[in-house]
Amino acid sequence: MSTIAPALQPPPKPQPARVPTDWTTTSMQGRIRRRYRSERRFRLLGAGAVLLSFAFLVFLLISMLGQGLRGFTQTELRLPMDFPAARLALDPATLAGPNARAALAAVDLEGATARAADRAYGTGGYKLLSDGAWLSVRSAIQADPQILTRRADIWVPTSTVIDLAAKGDADAEAEAGYRLLDARKAVRTSFSMAFLTGSDSTDPTLVGIWGALKGSLLTMFVTLILAFPIGVLSALYLEEYAARNRWTDLIEVSINNLAAVPSIIFGLLGLAVFLNFLDFPRSAPIVGGLTLALMTMPVIVIAGRNAIKSVPPSIRDAALGIGASKVQVVFHHVLPLALPGILTGTIIGMARALGETAPLLMIGMRAFIASPPGGLADPATVLPVQIFLWSDEVSRGFVEKTSAAIIVLLVFLLAMNGIAIYLRNRFERRW
Amino acid sequence: MTETSLNDRADKQQAAHGGTLKMTARDVDVFYGTKQAIKNVSIDVTQENVTAFIGPSGCGKSTFLRTLNRMNDTVASARVTGDITLDGKDIYGADMDVVQLRARVGMVFQKPNPFPKSIYENVAYGPRIHGLASAKPDMDAIVEKSLRRAGLWEEVKDRLTDSGTALSGGQQQRLCIARAIAVDPEVILMDEPCSALDPIATAKIEELIHELRGRYAIVIVTHNMQQAARVSQKTAFFHLGTLVEYGDTSDIFTNPRQTRTKDYITGRYG
């Protein structure tokens, strides 16, 4: 267009003569050296911090594995049982039928086992056995009733003292006893499924982690199905729908405060509301899950809001601009794009809930529970509480079981984090 | 400038150029909180012409554009008074559904903003949520037609499943135009569609605007006066929230009536 003329420019004003900066003076050189030094110093500090935290991690892993792996093994003693001589009032035929349990309960297997030990290893030999050794004898009879007609060697768990001696962690007297047995090829130490499938017990050679693990799984399940949807919907509503005013400010401050409340307070809240007021069953995963959901929800809301905030507004504009409704914008665009962040926050919250002990103590999940929970309302305990309980036990045998339980808890945590990373990578998209 | 004189002028120009009225705005004020961003603007958008809004930064041209499809509704503090009609119907009226309005009055934004989905999904999203195609072949046809109209089909037909965000800036903007076209709008609003593009991509978009003219009523906001001169038939000059001058593009650029318009297009400010 002819009328678009170049703008009129005033002539340059006269300027004072320019003195060039001297970049080679000693003060300049000194400044350069100081700059390089501070760069180096910062890099060293950073690398040192990383190394230090890595060293802590390695120390934790090594000490845990060193202590804990022994907890997965169990020393067993070969017990020669002469069933015909023991005169157990048992007929192999009755053991095949449905009355097997009752028939087995009627005879004194415990006494027979102790007598067999005395015969094989001298008077007092029963002390070499775990209190639950007769359970192995019972299992052997159940597995093969014909065993009652002959002599047989049965491997039964040893007492804690022998078990520790086998793992080189007992006094000289026990060590000597163990070496004697070892010389007779009467003991073996092997990986024991019993630890992974059993529940709590008063005898460290008989304890298992499955009861607590299942309790944790059920509790986490309740926490997740409550905290995730409620947390995500709250975050979506607060970010996408709620007007900015004093009330939403108040809610935001409250949620932030709630995330920082010490967990024992949530335990007291759970005790007051779920047990005393609503009369829910004590020690149950459903109450534990509800309590931990209260604790996890603010974390999910905060992480969710940050993830939703980081979805670029241009995506919302684009969807609105072609006539998407608010709900369509939120569920077709905002939520899918925010999901990786929301999931990361959720897993962090869940991991915290998984490791939580204090609030669960308040609602009675520290009870001694000798069988795994069958449902959400059954008495149960959870991994961290189980660890806490075992670490409090007097018997030396519980030390390695505690470490073994910690390993199980850490593996559980690692698995959860692994799932989180997988989900995040799956849903992450490039813009 | 009084509102009657503006209205008279708009009516006169209407008569003179014989365009079919598509959208009208009368005495429109827009407030953000207590701050008035648009003061008493009246303007007509015609079916056959490309209307360009020009003016210095912050003069309210984008704000006004966003009132035409009620995108300002998303800003909590924004308030619009006055009358804006589409085919004679008040778009701020109680019986106007805002979702349908935005389907009829599409929008292309300053920064290309394809969804982080495939090229196909970007175009198909609008028709899908409005139920414009039920079967896959119908949808394929809509996607192809829209991409062809946006001049992008030949470049992307072999990679419709690639992410829309993997395209170049100019291609992304044409994808956004295709996405707007796909819901078959009557008006397309373009908010500085070329400001983030290089000259070659800009030329392609301008060419595209020429081709789309007539089928859709087009309103384009631009801070580039040469672009306004190239693509539009009508030009409105905004300054400090007021509509200073509105008329045929050739008149505005060769024979502006207002001193402010003249100063702006000759580059004295802006």
DSSP state of B255: S
Q: Which residues of A touch B182 (CB under 8 A)?
A: 322
Site of tokens 């002539």? A11
Mutate to test the interface with B, among A322, A331, A430 (most CBs of B within 10 A): A322
Continuous segment of H or E residues that includes residue B29? strand B21-32
ipTM, two decimals = 0.84
| Distance in Å, alpha carbon of B232 to nearest chain A alpha carbon | 13
Q: Which tens digits make up the pLDDT trace of B252-262?
A: 888 888 888 88
The two three-digit tokens of residue B23, written as one number? 């959208």
Lowest-confidence range among A124-133, A244-253, A294-303? A124-133
Strand-strand pairing, A187-191 and B89-90: unpaired
Site of tokens 């993997």? B166
Identify the pLDDT of residue A379.
81
DSSP state of B150: T
Q: Which tens digits make up the pLDDT trace of A310-328?
A: 999 899 999 998 888 889 9
CB contact under 8 A, B69 and A321: yes
| Distance in Å, alpha carbon of B257 to nearest chain A alpha carbon | 13
CB contact under 8 A, A244 and B129: no
CA angle A359, A365, A370 (to 5 degrees): 160
Closest-CA residue in chain A for B265? A4
Identify the pLDDT of residue A63.
85
Q: Which residues of A touch B173 (CB under 8 A)?
A: none
The two three-digit tokens of residue A192, written as one number? 């024991």
Exposed, middle or buried: residue A328 (CB in 10 Å: 0-12, 13-18, 19+)?
A: middle
Q: In this structure, are residues A198 and A210 in contact, taking their beta carbons and an 8 Å threshold?
A: yes
Q: How far apart are CA B13 and CA B7, in angstroms?
A: 10
A17 interfaces chain B, CB cutoff of 8 Å = no
Identify the pLDDT of residue B14.
47
A245 interfaces chain B, CB cutoff of 8 Å = no
Q: In this structure, are residues B230 and B209 in contact, taking their beta carbons and an 8 Å threshold?
A: no
| Distance in Å, alpha carbon of B215 to nearest chain A alpha carbon | 18
CB contact under 8 A, B268 and A7: yes
> What dotted CATH number matches A210-427?
1.10.3720.10
Q: Return the number of CB contacts < 8 Å for A and B.
A: 96
Closest-CA residue in chain A for B230? A1
The domains of chain B, with CATH numbers, are 3-265 (3.40.50.300)
Cβ count near B144 (within 10 Å): 16
Mutate to test the interface with A, among B97, B102, B231 (most CBs of A within 10 A): B102
CA B29 to chain centre: 19
**What's the average model confidence in pLDDT over B48-63?**
88
A292 interfaces chain B, CB cutoff of 8 Å = no
CB contact under 8 A, A322 and B126: yes
CB contact under 8 A, B115 and A324: no
Handedness of CA B163, A431, B185, B18 (dihedral sign): negative
Q: In this structure, are residues B103 and A324 in contact, taking their beta carbons and an 8 Å threshold?
A: no
Closest-CA residue in chain A for B179? A322
Q: How far apart are CA A18 and CA B2, in angstroms?
A: 55
Q: How far apart are CA B211 and CA B205, in angstroms?
A: 10
B260 interfaces chain A, CB cutoff of 8 Å = no
Lowest-confidence range among A277-286, A363-372, B82-91? A363-372
Is residue A2's pLDDT more than 70? no
CB contact under 8 A, B130 and A323: yes
Q: In this structure, are residues A292 and A219 in contact, taking their beta carbons and an 8 Å threshold?
A: yes
B164 interfaces chain A, CB cutoff of 8 Å = no
Q: Over chain A, what is the mean pLDDT?
A: 83
Q: In this structure, are residues B242 and B214 in contact, taking their beta carbons and an 8 Å threshold?
A: no
CB contact under 8 A, B113 and A318: yes
User: Which residue among A1, A7, A321 sits closest to B253, beta carbon to beta carbon?
Assistant: A1
Identify the pLDDT of residue A231.
94
Q: How far apart are CA A219 and CA A213, in angstroms?
A: 10
| Distance in Å, alpha carbon of A323 to nearest chain B alpha carbon | 5
The two three-digit tokens of residue A292, written as one number? 């931990």
- Structural Rg of chain B based on CA atoms: 19
Site of tokens 């991991």? A351
Q: How far apart are CA B219 and CA B54, in angstroms?
A: 11
Is residue A79's pLDDT more than 90? no
Closest-CA residue in chain B for A245? B76
CB contact under 8 A, B113 and A333: no
Q: Hey, which bits of B132-211 come out as E strands?
A: 187-191
Local structure of A246: helix, strand or coil: helix
Q: Which residues of B touch A337 (CB under 8 A)?
A: 116
| Distance in Å, alpha carbon of A342 to nearest chain B alpha carbon | 18
Is residue B12's pLDDT more than 70? no
Q: Which residues of A touch B103 (CB under 8 A)?
A: 322-323
Closest-CA residue in chain B for A324? B99
| Distance in Å, alpha carbon of A340 to nearest chain B alpha carbon | 14
**What's the average model confidence in pLDDT over B161-186?**
89
The two three-digit tokens of residue B167, written as one number? 């395209």
Identify the pLDDT of residue A226.
93
Q: How far apart are CA B233 and CA A322, in angstroms?
A: 26
Q: In this structure, are residues A75 and A163 in contact, taking their beta carbons and an 8 Å threshold?
A: yes
CA angle B6, B8, B14 (to 5 degrees): 105
Structure confidence at residue A54 as a pLDDT band (50, 70, 90): very high
Site of tokens 């460290």? A204
Continuous segment of H or E residues that includes residue A80? strand A73-82
Closest-CA residue in chain A for B98? A323
Cβ contacts of residue A352 below 8 Å, gap of 6+?
A295, A296, A299
Is residue A269's pLDDT more than 80? yes
- Fill in the amino acid letter for A49: A
> What number of CA atoms fall less than 13 Å from residue B220's CA on the CB side?
32
B254 interfaces chain A, CB cutoff of 8 Å = yes
Identify the pLDDT of residue A1.
44
CB contact under 8 A, B265 and A3: yes
Q: How far apart are CA A247 and CA A183, in angstroms?
A: 78
Is residue A219's pLDDT more than 80? yes
Structure confidence at residue A7 as a pLDDT band (50, 70, 90): low
Residue ranges per structural domain of chain A: 80-195, 210-427
Lowest-confidence range among A43-57, A103-117, A230-244? A103-117
Q: Which residues of A touch B106 (CB under 8 A)?
A: 321-322
